[in-house]
A and B are shown apart, each in its own frame.
Chain A
Amino acid sequence: GAGVSQSPSNKVTEKGKDVELRCDPISGHTALYWYRQSLGQGLEFLIYFQGNSAPDKSGLPSDRFSAERTGGSVSTLTIQRTQQEDSAVYLCASSPDPPSGHLTDTQYFGPGTRLTVL
Chain B
Amino acid sequence: EDKVVQSPLSLVVHEGDTVTLNCSYEVTNFRSLLWYKQEKKAPTFLFMLTSSGIEKKSGRLSSILDKKELSSILNITATQTGDSAIYLCAVGASGTYKYIFGTGTRLKVLA
Contact = CB atoms under 8 A, between A and B. Distances in A.
Nearest to B106: A40
A7 B21 CA distance: 33
Interface in B14-48: 31-32, 34, 36, 40-45, 48
Interface in A67-87: none
- Tell me the dominant secondary structure on chain B's binding face: strand
A99 B101 contact: no
Interface residues of B, number: 28
B32 to A, nearest CB: 5
B88 A106 contact: no
A109 interface: yes
Interface string B43-72: 111001011100000000000000000000
Interface of B: 4, 31-32, 34, 36, 40-45, 48, 50-52, 88, 90, 92, 94, 96-104
